[in-house]
Amino acid sequence: MKFRSDAGSTLIELLISITIVGVILVIIMGAFRIGIRAWETGERDVESFQRQQIVLSILKRQLSSACLRPIAIEGHESFVFNGKEGLVDFISSVSIIPGNDSGKVRVTYRVGRDDKNDGYYLEIAERNFLTGGADAAIDTLDADMIHELIANVYDIRFEYLKKMAQKEESQWQPEWNEEDDAGLPAAVKCILQMDEKKLPVVIIARVLSQEDIS
């Protein structure tokens, strides 16, 4: 009796072909998944970048319109400008919150710690001089008066430029308080780093004093 040897060869060739096709499909699906993840990450980065640019633009605009008009605060003689690494508190003629478009507003940008996501967030509160409440600190405000602008960032902080005497260079400092610093800083720097692996974005908003305006 004779057996056909090509039947066994055909079966082996079929198994090899199926294995090769399977490997190719695994590679294609892996590349497809990587492409999908890269596209989703890119979409998130674009949205995050756009929001970041809008927020920084608003911050710069409000700081550029800061006012020297003092207001009375309980426990203090007056208030003009207060700055820390995680908080900027000032009076501006520009408002971004609906309903505050008439008159000057007290604006507070505050950095908070998000322990759940191990990051920071930036929020804003505005109080209108006409409707009252401008003398209220952000810690005393209701939650619905505070609005989150940026969430889950690696680092965000502020610095303040102090004008020195003519022969001395102006210096950046981490705080601005009325006891040591009179009036307004020459400029405010915001340093924003969205991710540990990315370079920080830095904006510098010039603050116009009464001398600059006149």
Over residues 1-26, the pLDDT tens digits come to 454 555 556 777 778 888 888 888 88
Indicate whether 188 belongs to any domain.
yes
Percent of the chain surpassing pLDDT 90: 22
Indicate whether 14 belongs to any domain.
no
Q: What is the pTM of this model?
A: 0.74
How many structural domains comprise the chain? 1
Amino acid letter, 5: S
Query: Residue 70's pLDDT is what?
Result: 74
Tell me 199's DSSP state.
Answer: P
Indicate whether 7 belongs to any domain.
no
Query: Residue 126's pLDDT is what?
Result: 92
Mean pLDDT for 22-38 is 80
- CA distance linking residue 200 with residue 202, whole number of Å: 6
Query: Residue 157's pLDDT is what?
Result: 95
Query: Residue 210's pLDDT is what?
Result: 46
- Per the structure, the complete domain to which residue 88 belongs is given by 49-213
Indicate whether 100 belongs to any domain.
yes
Q: Are 104 and 62 in contact, with CB atoms under 8 Å apart?
A: no
| Cα distances (angstroms) measured from residue 183 to each of 54, 57, 66, 95, 209 | 28, 23, 11, 21, 8
Mean pLDDT for 31-56 is 72
Indicate whether 69 belongs to any domain.
yes
- CA distance linking residue 137 with residue 110, whole number of Å: 11
Q: Residue 110: beta bridge partners?
A: 87, 123
| Cα distances (angstroms) measured from residue 132 to each of 37, 72, 98, 145 | 49, 12, 15, 13
> Is the confidence at residue 203, as pLDDT, over 60?
yes
> Is the confidence at residue 122, as pLDDT, over 70?
yes
Indicate whether 62 belongs to any domain.
yes
Q: Are 108 and 97 in contact, with CB atoms under 8 Å apart?
A: no
Amino acid letter, 83: G
Average model confidence (pLDDT) across the chain: 81
Query: Residue 40's pLDDT is what?
Result: 63
pLDDT tier at 211, thresholds 50, 70, 90: very low
Q: What tens digit of pLDDT does each residue of 106-120 get?
A: 999 999 998 887 899
Query: Residue 20's pLDDT is what?
Result: 85
Extract long-range pairs of 60-63: CB within 8 Å, 24+ residues apart. 60/203, 60/205, 61/94, 62/90, 62/92, 62/94, 62/96, 62/107, 63/88, 63/90, 63/92, 63/188, 63/205, 63/206, 63/207
Mean pLDDT for 56-79 is 77
Query: Residue 86's pLDDT is what?
Result: 95
- CA distance linking residue 101 with residue 93, whole number of Å: 9
Indicate whether 32 belongs to any domain.
no
Q: Are 137 and 73 in contact, with CB atoms under 8 Å apart?
A: yes
Q: What tens digit of pLDDT does each residue of 143-162 get?
A: 988 999 998 889 999 999 98
- CA distance linking residue 165 with residue 32, whole number of Å: 62
Burial tier of 87 (Cβ tally within 10 Å: 0-12, 13-18, 19+): middle
